[in-house]
Amino acid sequence: MKTGFVRCFVAFGAVLAIFVAAVAFSASALAAKYSSVVIDAQTGQVVSEYDADSPNFPASLTKMMTLYLTFEALEHHTVSLDTVFPVSAHAAAQEPTKLNLVAGQTIAVHDLILGLVTQSANDAAVVLSEGLGGTEAAFAEKMTNTARAMGMDNTTFHNASGLPNPFQKTTARDLSKLARRLYIDFPREYAYFGTEAFTYHGVTYGNHNHLMSSFAGMDGIKTGFIHASGFNLAASAVRNDRRLIGVVMGGVSAHARDMKMAALLNAAFDGRPSPDIMVASTEGKKAPQSRMTLHMIAKRAVGGLANLSPISKAEAATPAHLASPHWAIQVGAFRARAMAARAANTARAHVPAAHSKPVVVVMTRSHHGAVFNARITDLSANEAHAACDTLHHEHRACTVLGPSVQVAGQKAGGATPLSRS
């Protein structure tokens, strides 16, 4: 009798602990705090910070550690890029975003790496964790031990993907240390973070870091989002032989997070005070900058327009275009025209304000061959940004294109409209 009572009591205690953790986790979703840090990649010196030790959930920034251990295995020759790992039922059952892997199939390490870098695929992260660690739990323990060895004292991992877990915590400062170690320890593999698109089984996945195509000098590294964390981003950019690494956590939207990162890095490269210092000093009384002002901040580079790409230069040099009604959004880049058209139509169906807007497939050429860009056009600036905000909340790729970007892209990249519907 007593034994049965003890077992019931223990079981009740376990359930209660899980319930308390779940309640705390749900509450945190309403209180994800903004934090940031910018460091010098060579020295590790902090350039600017704001609440950098505030705990938060890493979300998909978790995958930076998953990739660190993968790169380590490659360097130690315990696996190769051609090594294939089996897909377990556990891996296949992960929530999106994912590569839609099927239990029982196999997939090469090379494809798994690109799946994490571009699509931030949760199923791919679990396949890597099981292939390298036996089980995801064992791999997560190694992730935590590696973090501690790096000086990431406030970080604990419980999974390889960053999907919601109430006990998986980190800080902006800790993640900046990890991002730096990825660059310092694996300079060759770090180049993976610059991958713009990855095609697997006929589907092309674009990189979720949209600043890669608009911010001068940026070449990585990772985005992240769950409701409890807000919108997170670790990014690295180099200008005039100086590399900076920034981490922003707790952004209210993907767009706001990206613009904040752009402002922080621009200020750091230019030797100006951090925008976060100004916000803190006014205790929130400072009038927020308009979306259009922030859009221009993201395009501004140190030293003027000379450091910008042709597309970014055209946009930064023509502020009058901000008032143009002919903006667009790009929702993916594909190897086939039909796939691009299908992606644009699918995205349009998810944005009520864009239901009547035309879909355009624009072809550009690179050393990899033709790329078909899926776009929705004839939007106002506000409509374009609102559309991307909506799609980002649904974890869909979206990049805002100003009128001059489209014109410059057609001139510089040889883009040609192929279809319209």
Catalytic residues: 60, 63, 120
- Cα–Cα dist 326/155, whole Å: 45
Within its chain, how far is the Cα of 121 from the centroid?
Answer: 11
- Cα–Cα dist 262/419, whole Å: 34
**H or E stretch at 244:** strand 242-251
**H or E stretch at 46:** strand 46-50
Residue-wise over 101-136: b if at least 16 C-beta within 10 A, else e? beeeeebebebbbbbbbbbbbbbbbbbbbbbbbeeb
- Cα–Cα dist 144/33, whole Å: 23
147: tokens are 């973090």
Question: What does each C-alpha distance from 160 to 63, 91, 101, 378, 416 come to in angstroms?
Answer: 6, 11, 16, 41, 41
Residue-wise over 384-415: b if at least 16 C-beta within 10 A, else e? bbbbbbbbbeeebbbbbbbbbbbbbbeeebeb
3-class secondary structure, 416: strand
46: tokens are 């902090």
Q: How many residues does the chain have?
A: 421
Rounded to the nearest 10 degrees, how much is the dihedral formed by the CA atoms of 98, 184, 108, 162? -20
347: tokens are 């995205």
